[in-house]
Structure 1
Amino acid sequence: MKILAYASLGAPMAVMAGGAAAQDDATSEASQTRPVPCEGEPYRDFDFWIGEWNVTGPDGQIAGKNAITSEESGCLIVERWTGASGGTGQSYNFYDPGLAQWRQVWVAPGATIDYAGGLNGAGAMVLEGEISYRGGATFPFRGRWTPNEDGSVTQAFEQYNPETDVWDDWFTGTYRQIETSDEEASTE
């Protein structure tokens, strides 16, 4: 009896091992002929935002620094924000082929933002969704990142106010690339 039980267990295992080997061969062949993921449009639509940035508010004062990096073979843009007053936040930005839209998920101690969209006719990235505050309040929210001719990027956020039925400015900032010499001077 025990021999039959082991024999019956051994046969499926041999089939499973053979199936796994065939799958490995198919996977390696597919990876050799498959195009590199996340290349070309629309995956490069938000690349204008990648870099190390000083961010100023409308008054010209430093609002903070933002490090925007391309990760996961160009499939993900990661934002790491540090405000002038010490606040922090991070976002994951990616093109979602299922939605055929760009998405951003922002997480900070005070709120999360989840929104989606894409480039408008002027070449700005426009995303719309919701901001959810840690206290439980949730509001419609939208953001716009506009590349400027001088290489800077203007970022503008608006939150919908249901009491006034108006979109209120939430934050507006101008991103300017941190030059290597600027960074060295600030650490000396």
Structure 2
Amino acid sequence: MSPVSSAPPPPAEIHDFDFWLGSWEVVTPDGKLVGHNHIEAILGGRVLRENYTTPGTYAGRSFNIYNAAAQRWEQYWVDVTGLALHLTGGLNPAGQMVLQGKRVTPAGTSIVDRITWTPQADGTVRQFWETSSDGGETWAPAFDGRYRPVAPPTP
């Protein structure tokens, strides 16, 4: 496919999630290491690609893009268990990225997933994942992690 030379400039919103770019170690609120994550900008900075791994065998990947036509952020997540999420949303006035979506479990129940990424003053990012089995009336925590930047190697 050839590029379109008359393409409009990218909207400013493509940078809303840039605070998540980098290499991170992921820890629980009590400081236990649960994984490593690398988020990089690809395709001219329009897409963020996530590569998440744990010390065990769990791994997952996501693609995140600002969909200019829909005027929202979208995340497509897949993992080694067969979980697939399609989340949508955007940056709220508090500077948090909030993405949400519905899925059906293998047992046939409907679940709403809501994930909030909050940049912290100390350079970390909190990721808080909640689920609801009653259409969003009540929420239960699924994951609460803090992304700590991995220092670049010294020469």
Interval containing the TM-score (normalised by the shorter chain): 0.7 to 0.9
TM-score scaled by length of structure 1: 0.73
Q: For 2:121, which of 137, 149, 152 is the aligned residue? A: 149
Q: Indicate the SS of the match to 2:19.
A: helix
The structure-2 alpha-carbon separation of the partners of 1:112 and 1:135, relative to structure 1 and needing over 3 Å to count, comes to: farther
Q: For 1:130, which of 102, 108, 128 is the aligned residue? A: 102
Q: Which runs of 4+ in 1 moved over 3 A?
A: 131-138
2:20 match:
49
Q: Indicate the SS of the match to 1:180.
A: coil
Structure 2 alignment gaps of length 5 or more? none
The structure-2 alpha-carbon separation of the partners of 1:84 and 1:130, relative to structure 1 and needing over 3 Å to count, comes to: farther
Shift of 1:100: 0.3
For the aligned residue pairs, the C-alpha RMSD in angstroms reads 2.4
1:76 match:
47
1:113 match:
85
Identity %: 35
Which structure has the bigger radius of gyration? Answer: 1
Shift of 1:50: 0.4
Higher strand share: 2
The structure-2 alpha-carbon separation of the partners of 1:181 and 1:143, relative to structure 1 and needing over 3 Å to count, comes to: same
Matching residue's letter, 1:76:
V
Superimposed CA distance per residue, residues 15-69 of structure 1 (whole angstroms, 9 cap, x where no aligned partner): xxxxxxxxxxxx99x72x655x53x510100000000000001221001000101
Matching residue's letter, 1:82:
T
The structure-2 alpha-carbon separation of the partners of 1:83 and 1:149, relative to structure 1 and needing over 3 Å to count, comes to: same
1:12 match:
none
- Contact kept, 8 Å, 2:62 with 2:78, in 1: the verdict is yes
Structure 1 alignment gaps of length 5 or more? 1-26
